Structure 1
Amino acid sequence: MRNRMTSLALALALTCGFSVAQQAVPLPTGVVAAPGSFVVAPASITYFAKGGDTLIAIAVQFTGKADHWVQIGKNNRIDRDSNIPIGTPIFIPAELLSDDPVEATVVALSGSITARKADGIVIALAIGAKVSEGTQIDTANNGFVTFALADSSRVSLPSNSRVKIGKLRMARYTKSPRTEIMLLRGRVESRVSPLEARKGLFEIRTPQSVAGVRGTHFRVGILANGVANEVLSGKVAVAKPAEGASLTLATAKGAIVDSRTVGPMVDLLPAPRLVARAGADYATAQFAIVPVAGASAYRVQLSTDSDAIDIIAENNAATPQVRLDGIPDGAYFVRISAIDRAGLEGLTRIEPVRISARADLAQRAAAGAPNVDHSNQREIGLKWQPLGGRSFVLQVARDADFSWLVHTVRTAVPQASVPR
């Protein structure tokens, strides 16, 4: 009986000036949707009208705005707000659907971070903390934070940066993300999950520019001469606020947006490499970089993970020698990039490194290893090159890691004897 009623309703729709939308979600063979129900697709829903439904009623129910009935009517080729035959499929795109607020989650944090909610209340951030729409986040010198969005996108703030989360929502039913980040100072790096299938929105806004993406890895930074936009993968549409025309940047492209123009688009500098081999031991966090043609500066960031999500330190230098202070011994990953004369940061390279004070000892020993001066049944005498009047510590161990020490001798002269 229901099949016959639905068929009759569809026939009536066709004879009364209604037509089934071409974009409506197809139902499996043999399945009949009940009036008043809906089917969810990645970027839309299809609602099946019930008795007494009008376009205005449907618009209010699913989009929260009565004015949307006009657009819904155009999408479904219905030109008036009158009763809709029972069972008529009504296509509603994700961009018209009501949205719900969501939260971001802090997944990495280091140094001094200040977060202030929309009502002015200061909140403490820690791993796992939630961040909501309207929150302003500031990073101090050597402060870093990364938060994950509901769709697994990542937003990272390096040191000396400020953002305000303008919109943090998700479309009802389709779960299409709607995110707007306002960059007020410094830089922001985004790794955006693919949005095309669900028609999601992700934008980084500054007072001078808007960068919108569908799924990509890119950076935006406020400079003295404008706003830098740098694409590491994917595509980004860059425009000025309230202007329709945009410049699409592909992978390894960048552009400066200033008060007058967008662009031009240029090639980003290639990723530099370290002079030392990957995985090398460093006595201090001072890194020598192979120079890159066209570079005016270099940036080095140190992280605890291979994706550079959990950054703990960074520094810039005008020469290809960059030092990071206060780094304890341990295994890290260093991310390096070159910056061109316009201020655009280039592609990055990530390499594993180890910071170890013992590397310094090994380097000094290799430069002036002791020689055997004399030897007998009771002792071995060692002598080495003097180092500008410095005193010395001579250690003898049973293992190469010096975890099992057997002798320690302190001396003001470059020689010592140890028992056999």
Structure 2
Amino acid sequence: MPAKVGRSWFFLPVAALLAAAPLAAEPMLRYTVRPNDTLSALARDFLVGGDYREVQRLNKVADPYRMPIGSILLIPDRLLRTEPVVGKVVSFRGSATIDGRQAALGGEVRQGMRVETGANASIAIAMPDGSTIALPSQSRILVDRLRRILLTDGLDRNFRLETGRSRSSVIPMKDPASNFRVTTPLSVAAVRGTEFRVAVDESGERALTEVVAGTVGVAAGPDPAEVAVPRGYGAISTPAGTEPPVALLPPPKLLQLEKTETGVSIVAERIEGAKAYRVELATDVAFLNIIEEAQSDEPSISLALPQGATFFVRLTAIATSGLEGLPGIYAPGVRRSAPPPAPASGPSADAGAAEPLPFQLWAEPRPLPIRLTGHGLVQPRAIAAHTSLR
């Protein structure tokens, strides 16, 4: 088999795929011809069936044994030899199913499977490279592609969000053959390493992309132009295309966190331009293992939790447009300085500092100390019952 080192394979950008009529009907790979390459050898080693004639016709190659070095071959994706990649369930709660069967920790997720969550449920799936995709309540994805391209070991991952919301944390990809996409009936969000959310609203007429870290390319509608959505911005896609990105609402400050008889009471800062607020509790700072979530029109909400529960708090404000803002993530104690920028794999503690600890619910109602971790700046704060942070 020819050596894989130095070969230049990569997926066409979303915009190029949409614009390359009449080839836009199916995904293509671009291959840059290297010295000593022949079309017949490439087909023998890396194409299904080893037949080069379709690629020859598509690219108008006169001699399959001689090709100009540096020329570009377009190769239909369906002709590439691949091997399956297996995702693993790293957390779930409630009614989270894979192909209709209840999820289990460590359960395998493969190409072609459908993952779905019911009311008050969630699931998180990890890829072999450490990237994750998580679904909150009442969401569904089809694992459209989850495979490895044999030529370069590039990962080809495409998740089709059919309803609800998703949150992806993607490890930066150095191999140009690798990709990570979340598609909806209205849009394609393509990344090479970032943290972002994709949602389909209840009407089914709008897809929302919100970028927490990195940059996401979004394409939708009849216009093939790909819109770059940077960190801290969101974009709305409709059948007419993708609207210009707008700044996301800032993370709400946590003003009060108090133990109640049934769980915990949370009061957040009111954000101008917000129509609703989302509160999530998780046992880990990356928020893969969510234990409770709720949405409210007001920045205050009570959640039921068992005694002894430990958790982090994540707050977001939802704009009137429906775009969800940047997250504020809280843990006990005070920080000495602001955290560094969060990596694509998720929030982390300060370099050299101890990992933040989750909140602990005691048997008796009492106020809990808090701090902000992960995204955003942090200032030393203290909290007392029924008072604002000071």
**TM-score > 0.5, shorter chain as reference:** yes
Could you say what secondary structure the match of 1:288 adopts?
Answer: strand
Q: Tell me how far apart the structure 2 counterparts of residues 133 and 108 of structure 1 sit (CA, whole Å).
A: 19
- 1:99 is aligned to 2:48: no
The 3 A distance-change label for structure 1 pair 255 and 123 is same
The 3 A distance-change label for structure 1 pair 172 and 355 is same
Which residue does the alignment assign to 2:152?
174
Which residue does the alignment assign to 2:231?
251
- 1:146 is aligned to 2:124: yes
Q: Tell me how far apart the structure 2 counterparts of residues 305 and 169 of structure 1 sit (CA, whole Å).
A: 28
Q: Tell me how far apart the structure 2 counterparts of residues 290 and 102 of structure 1 sit (CA, whole Å).
A: 43
Q: Which amino acid aligns with 2:237?
A: V
Which residue does the alignment assign to 2:114?
136
- For residue 107 of structure 1, report the CA deviation from its aligned partner: 0.6
Q: Deviations over 1:287-339 (max 9, x none)?
A: 10011111111000000001111111100000010222244432210111000
Which residue does the alignment assign to 1:309?
288
The 3 A distance-change label for structure 1 pair 285 and 361 is closer
- 1:275 is aligned to 2:252: no
- For residue 60 of structure 1, report the CA deviation from its aligned partner: 3.6
Could you say what secondary structure the match of 1:180 adopts?
Answer: strand
- 1:66 is aligned to 2:52: yes
Higher-RCO chain (CA-CA 8 Å, sequence separation at least 6): 2
Q: Tell me how far apart the structure 1 counterparts of residues 46 and 72 of structure 2 sit (CA, whole Å).
A: 11
Bigger Rg, which one = 1
- 1:164 is aligned to 2:142: yes
**TM-score of the superposed pair, with normalisation by structure 2:** 0.71
Alignment of 1:96-135 (within 5 A): 97-116=80-99, 122-135=100-113
Which residue does the alignment assign to 2:302?
323
Indicate if the aligned counterparts of 1:111 and 1:312 stay in contact, CA closer than 8 A.
no
Could you say what secondary structure the match of 1:59 adopts?
Answer: helix
Q: Which amino acid aligns with 1:282?
A: K
**TM-score of the superposed pair, with normalisation by structure 1:** 0.67
Q: Which amino acid aligns with 1:149?
A: M
Indicate if the aligned counterparts of 1:73 and 1:79 stay in contact, CA closer than 8 A.
no
Alignment of 1:333-372 (within 5 A): 333-352=312-331, 353-360=359-366
Indicate if the aligned counterparts of 1:38 and 1:48 stay in contact, CA closer than 8 A.
no
Q: Tell me how far apart the structure 1 counterparts of residues 41 and 71 of structure 2 sit (CA, whole Å).
A: 12
Q: Which amino acid aligns with 2:5?
A: V
Q: Tell me how far apart the structure 1 counterparts of residues 322 and 367 of structure 2 sit (CA, whole Å).
A: 39
Could you say what secondary structure the match of 1:285 adopts?
Answer: strand
The 3 A distance-change label for structure 1 pair 83 and 319 is closer
Indicate if the aligned counterparts of 1:281 and 1:356 stay in contact, CA closer than 8 A.
no
- 1:40 is aligned to 2:5: yes
- For residue 248 of structure 1, report the CA deviation from its aligned partner: 0.9
Which residue does the alignment assign to 1:385?
none
The 3 A distance-change label for structure 1 pair 39 and 177 is closer
Identity %: 31
- For residue 89 of structure 1, report the CA deviation from its aligned partner: 11
The 3 A distance-change label for structure 1 pair 300 and 188 is same
Structure 1 gaps of 5+ residues are 1-35, 117-121, 368-420
The 3 A distance-change label for structure 1 pair 291 and 308 is same
The 3 A distance-change label for structure 1 pair 127 and 90 is farther
Q: Deviations over 1:165-197 (max 9, x none)?
A: 111111114211111111111100001111243
The 3 A distance-change label for structure 1 pair 346 and 361 is closer
Q: Tell me how far apart the structure 2 counterparts of residues 220 and 158 of structure 1 sit (CA, whole Å).
A: 12
Q: Deviations over 1:214-268 (max 9, x none)?
A: 1110001111351111000111111116752121100001011122231131000
Q: Deviations over 1:372-414 (max 9, x none)?
A: xxxxxxxxxxxxxxxxxxxxxxxxxxxxxxxxxxxxxxxxxxx
Q: Tell me how far apart the structure 1 counterparts of residues 58 and 129 of structure 2 sit (CA, whole Å).
A: 27
Indicate if the aligned counterparts of 2:258 and 2:367 stay in contact, CA closer than 8 A.
no
Q: Tell me how far apart the structure 2 counterparts of residues 304 and 139 of structure 1 sit (CA, whole Å).
A: 19
Q: Tell me how far apart the structure 1 counterparts of residues 187 and 70 of structure 2 sit (CA, whole Å).
A: 40
Q: Which amino acid aligns with 1:163?
A: I
Q: Which amino acid aligns with 1:141?
A: A
Q: Deviations over 1:122-151 (max 9, x none)?
A: 434211110111111110111110001122
Could you say what secondary structure the match of 1:275 adopts?
Answer: strand
- For residue 357 of structure 1, report the CA deviation from its aligned partner: 3.4
Indicate if the aligned counterparts of 2:2 and 2:45 stay in contact, CA closer than 8 A.
no
Structure 2 gaps of 5+ residues are 10-30, 332-358, 369-383, 386-390
Q: Deviations over 1:25-64 (max 9, x none)?
A: xxxxxxxxxxx64142485599885xxx952342242233
The total of aligned residue pairs comes to 313
Which residue does the alignment assign to 2:40?
56
Alignment of 1:151-300 (within 5 A): 151-223=129-201, 224=203, 226-240=206-220, 243-276=223-256, 282-283=259-260, 284-300=263-279
Indicate if the aligned counterparts of 1:169 and 1:179 stay in contact, CA closer than 8 A.
yes
